[in-house]
Amino acid sequence: MIESSTMEKRFSTRQAASKLGVAILTLQRHIKAETIDAPPVEEFGVRLWTARDIAKARKVLKATRPGRKKKRV
């Protein structure tokens, strides 16, 4: 966790994925497919997620998460 000058907590993509309950690869795939609005890449090459960014991503993941298919009997 990194804190900016405004004292707002920021999280790495790995930490954001952990908070969302998904693998980092899953989150990266959603970013690449542009289904999730990811924060911009900072000048040192990482994305820093705020709690607001994570909440937005959670809504998208909830809407796009596939459910289990029922077995045919």
* pLDDT tens per residue, range 6-52: 678 999 999 999 999 999 999 999 999 999 999 999 988 999 999 99
- Tokens at residue 42, please? 């900072």
Contact 31, 64 (CB under 8 A): no
3 pLDDT band, cuts 50/70/90, is low
pTM for this predicted structure: 0.77
Domains of the chain: 2-64 (1.10.1660.10)
d(CA 27, CA 4): 23
Sequence-ordered strand ranges (E) for 1-73 = 2-3, 9-10
d(CA 54, CA 65): 16
Contact 35, 44 (CB under 8 A): no
Which residues, listed in sequence order, are joined to residue 9 by a DSSP beta bridge? 3
